Amino acid sequence: MTNTTHDHPVYVIGGGPGGLAAAAALRERGVRAVVLEKSDAVGASWRAHYDRLRLHTTRRLSGLPGLPMPRAFGRWVARDDVVRYLEKYATHHELEIVTGVEVSRVEPAPGQDGGWLLRATGGRELTGSAVVVATGYNHTPYVPEWPGRDTYTGEFTHAAHYRNPRPYEGMDVLVVGTGNTGAEIAVDLAQGGAARVRLAVRTAPHIVRRSTAGWPAQATGILVRRLPVRLVDRAGALMGRLAVPDLSAHGLPRPSTGLYSRVREGAIPVQDAGLIAAVKRGAVEPVAAVESFEQDKVVLADGTRISPRAVIAATGYRRALDGLVGDLGVLDARGRPVVHGARTPPKAPGLYFTGFTNPISGMFREMALDARKIAERIAKGRGSGR
């Protein structure tokens, strides 16, 4: 049967850095790529992040294919500059972007030798020769089902809706979660006038310096990523003892599991953006994990009951891919793609995923590498007539 799918574009779902990078790499290889973005502008997730956020990776190692980040942005690029870069990136590469279109389902195109049918807002049915899913690692805010949470009478919000400390001036605030987001928000609150800031810790995090003697933590992550897990764990433990003070007396003990072992489980080290100093001086108080809520109180794992006026849940996100591709056999038990980059699932050739891992070598860097590999794979497939 003659393959007619090459008459159709490659659809890229998501106008964040992963989607834009994939579209630019495809365009460079002469493949028409159409980016479908549900919001009204590119970089929607970055626009929604808290004000003080900066890339935890260096500017030089965070550029996407075909356009370096400007030197004027500095070494650690601020949120607003990331947004400016993504806007410039789309313009520079003359990308074909359709905003205000949300894809709800991807399924094999009927009656064709390959290809995909995308069902989208407004009753749209779009047929693509291939699909790149780049809807983002931080897609849907996740809040644990804590007992009594619906009875809590204080203010409660997910970190996705936190912008800056101004609304919390003079307040007693509990931040739940010790990933990079929770750690930075806790520091932001302490520096921004909150009366008291507590940080609920379920598992003690690995804390690393953003850079040591000018050497960025990201560069170390790139060097060790392919090394044996046990070796990196040992090296990480040694570096941790040398570079990070023991905060056990302040309620934040050293982690009991290896750094890279935790990374393989999805827990990225916390890059110190002021947390160490804030904990040492008592501006941020680590406390036990949250177990439940009782009206105006939060019950902690050690039995303590506290009464913060506000709770900010930095409890992560879900990929939310089940509705989009969940019936194609391409997701694992945790709802994550079984493959990413240039590899496509055995049951779904022509379906690609990018931006759904959070590697210690840097997400922007890995998305840039994925984009080139995906574009090469698709371009080769077209050239061979498959």
Six token digits for residue 63: 């550029």
All residues at 6 or more sequence positions from 266 whose CB lies less than 8 Å from its CB, including other chains: 358
For position 384, what pLDDT does the model report? 46
**Residues β-bridged to residue 352:** 132
pLDDT, tens only, 177-206: 999 999 999 999 999 999 999 999 999 999
Dist. CA 275–CA 270, nearest whole Å: 9
Average pLDDT, the chain: 92
Confidence of residue 6 (pLDDT cuts 50, 70, 90): low
Do the domains spanning 5-139+319-383 and 142-313 agree at the CATH topology level?
A: yes
Q: What is the mean pLDDT of residues 5-25?
A: 92
For position 3, what pLDDT does the model report? 45
Count of beta carbons in the 10 Å neighbourhood of residue 229: 14
Q: What is the mean pLDDT of residues 361-378?
A: 95
Residue 278, pLDDT > 50, answer yes
Least confident of 106-110, 155-159, 184-188, 258-262: 258-262
Q: What is the mean pLDDT of residues 96-119?
A: 91
For position 112, what pLDDT does the model report? 62
Running DSSP on this structure, what letter comes out for residue 115? Answer: -
Six token digits for residue 90: 């789309």
Domain boundaries, the chain: 5-139+319-383, 142-313
More confident residue, 326 or 381: 326
Count of beta carbons in the 10 Å neighbourhood of residue 151: 12
Q: Which residue has the tokens 């959070």?
A: 358
Dist. CA 114–CA 256, nearest whole Å: 49
Amino acid occupying residue 381: G
Q: Are strands 130-133 and 351-353 parallel, antiparallel or unpaired?
A: parallel
Dist. CA 268–CA 180, nearest whole Å: 8
Six token digits for residue 13: 């779902």
Residue 238, pLDDT > 70, answer yes
Confidence of residue 347 (pLDDT cuts 50, 70, 90): confident
5-139+319-383 CATH pick, 3.30.70.360, 3.50.50.60, 3.90.920.20, 3.40.50.2300: 3.50.50.60
Residue 25, pLDDT > 80, answer yes
Q: What is the mean pLDDT of residues 1-24?
A: 83
More confident residue, 194 or 232: 194
Q: What is the mean pLDDT of residues 358-383?
A: 90
Residue 333, pLDDT > 70, answer yes
For position 4, what pLDDT does the model report? 47
More confident residue, 314 or 320: 314
Phi, psi (degrees; rounded to nearest 5) at 123: 75, 15
Q: Which of these, 274, 271, 277, 276, lies nearest to 210 by C-alpha position? A: 271
Residue 266, pLDDT > 90, answer no
CATH number of 142-313: 3.50.50.60
**Residues β-bridged to residue 12:** 35, 132
Least confident of 86-95, 113-122, 272-281: 113-122
